């Protein structure tokens, strides 16, 4: 259940994490994850692949002017 998943995964403040997943970046910016994916594909945001995951540096997200979000 959702409640048991929340107890297994500790809640981390997104403002303290150095690297974010696409979903975490979307949550932080109030955008959809597809919007973040498009920004990565258009090279508006730099991202790295870690296995199958795409990660973004938090400082990268806030150093860019994201007028298209």
**Which tokens sit at 38?**
């498009």
State pTM to two decimals.
0.71
b/e code 10-42 from CB counts within 10 Å (16+ = b):
eeeeeeeeebbbbebbbebbebeeebbbebbee
CA distances from 11 to 1, 32, 39, 45, 51 (A): 16, 20, 26, 25, 23
Structure confidence at residue 65 (pLDDT): 54
Residues of the chain with pLDDT under 70: 1-12, 64-69
Structure confidence at residue 8 (pLDDT): 46
Structure confidence at residue 42 (pLDDT): 95
Answer whether 62's CB lies under 8 Å from 25's CB.
Answer: no
């Amino acid at each position: 259940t959702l409640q048991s998943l929340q107890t297994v995964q500790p809640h981390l403040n997104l403002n303290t994490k150095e690297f974010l997943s696409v979903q975490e970046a979307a949550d932080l910016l109030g955008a959809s994850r597809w919007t973040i994916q498009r920004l990565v594909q258009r090279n508006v945001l730099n991202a790295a692949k870690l296995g199958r995951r795409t990660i973004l540096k938090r400082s990268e997200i806030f150093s860019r002017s994201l007028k298209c979000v």
